[in-house]
C-alpha cells in the first residue's frame, strides 16, 4: 500500500480520543496533520506531541458548525501546506437524556456539530479536491446510525443523517476522483464514553487506535479503489449484534 508521505490531512475533533489517535496514526504514515479542535489547548497539545516526533503539523481552533471558522481553517491549512488531501470529519458531541429532558438548544447544538459540521467542511473542501483530481473525505459515523437506543435521539438523528450524507457525497465526488468513506465505529475507550459512563465495562470497548489504523489503511488503498462504508467494532460490541 502507498504511504501517506506529505499528504495533508485536516482532522476535526483532533484534540483527544479517536481524533487524537487518527492524527497520530496519519502522522506516523508520513502525513502532514492539521489538528482542529474546539479547544485550542487540546489541539496544541496533540500538535506539539506530533511535532516532537518529526511530523509537520498545525493546531487550529475550530467550531465545525461555524461556516466562517471553517473557511478560515481551510484557508490556514492551504496557506501553510499548499493543499488538502484528506479531511476527517470526526468532531462529535452528545447529551444522554430523554427527549423530554433534551432542550431545543441542545438538539440544535448536537445536530450542528455532528451533521452540519461535516457538511460545512465537505462543502468547502470538495471544490479544492476536485481541482486536484484527488482527495479523500472520511466521515466518522457510529453504530448509532444502524440501530437505536434510549436517551440519544439527537445523536441518532445526527449519525443516521451523517451516514446518508456520506453516501450521497460519495456519489457526487466519485466522478471527480475524490473518495468518500463512512467509518461506522463501535464503542471505544475514549473520553466520549468514559467521561459520561464511568461504570461502563471497558472490556467491551476497543482501543481508538484500532479504528484510527483502519482509517489509515483505507486512505492507503490504490487510487482506483474506494470503500464507501466500513464498520469497525470491538469483538464484544454491545451496540451491534
Active site residues: 155
Q: In what order do the strands lie in the sheet with 135-140?
A: 57-61, 32-37, 8-12, 86-89, 135-140, 178-185, 229-232
Residue matched to cell numbers 430523554: 98
CA distance 175 to 162: 21
SS3 182: strand
What 3-state class would DSSP assign to 9? strand
Torsion, Cα of 184, 203, 238, 138 (10° steps): -10
Please state, in angstroms and rounded to a whole number, the distance separating the CA atoms of residues 43 and 61.
7
Amino acid at each position: 500500500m502507498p504511504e501517506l508521505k506529505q499528504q495533508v490531512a485536516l482532522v476535526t475533533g483532533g484534540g483527544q480520543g479517536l481524533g487524537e489517535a487518527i492524527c497520530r496514526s496519519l502522522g506516523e504514515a508520513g502525513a502532514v496533520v492539521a489538528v482542529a479542535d474546539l479547544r485550542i489547548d487540546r489541539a496544541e497539545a496533540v500538535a506539539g506531541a506530533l511535532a516532537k516526533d518529526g511530523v509537520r503539523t498545525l493546531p487550529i481552533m475550530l467550531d465545525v458548525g461555524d461556516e466562517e471558522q471553517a473557511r478560515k481553517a481551510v484557508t490556514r491549512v492551504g496557506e501553510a501546506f499548499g493543499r488538502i488531501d484528506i479531511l476527517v470529519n470526526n468532531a462529535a458531541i452528545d447529551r444522554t437524556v430523554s427527549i423530554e429532558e433534551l432542550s431545543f438548544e441542545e438538539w440544535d447544538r448536537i445536530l450542528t456539530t455532528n451533521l452540519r459540521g461535516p457538511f460545512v467542511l465537505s462543502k468547502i473542501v470538495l471544490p479544492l479536491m476536485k481541482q486536484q483530481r484527488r482527495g479523500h473525505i472520511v466521515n466518522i459515523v457510529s453504530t448509532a446510525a444502524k440501530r437505536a437506543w434510549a436517551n440519544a435521539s439527537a445523536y441518532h438523528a445526527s449519525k443516521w443523517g451523517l451516514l446518508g450524507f456520506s453516501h450521497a457525497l460519495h456519489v457526487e465526488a466519485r466522478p471527480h476522483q475524490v473518495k468518500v468513506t463512512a467509518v461506522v465505529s463501535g464503542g471505544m475507550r475514549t473520553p466520549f464514553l468514559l467521561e459520561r459512563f464511568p461504570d461502563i465495562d471497558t472490556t467491551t470497548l476497543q482501543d481508538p487506535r484500532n479504528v484510527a489504523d483502519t482509517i489509515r489503511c483505507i486512505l492507503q488503498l490504490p487510487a482506483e479503489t474506494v470503500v464507501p462504508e466500513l464498520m469497525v467494532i470491538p469483538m464484544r460490541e454491545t451496540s451491534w449484534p
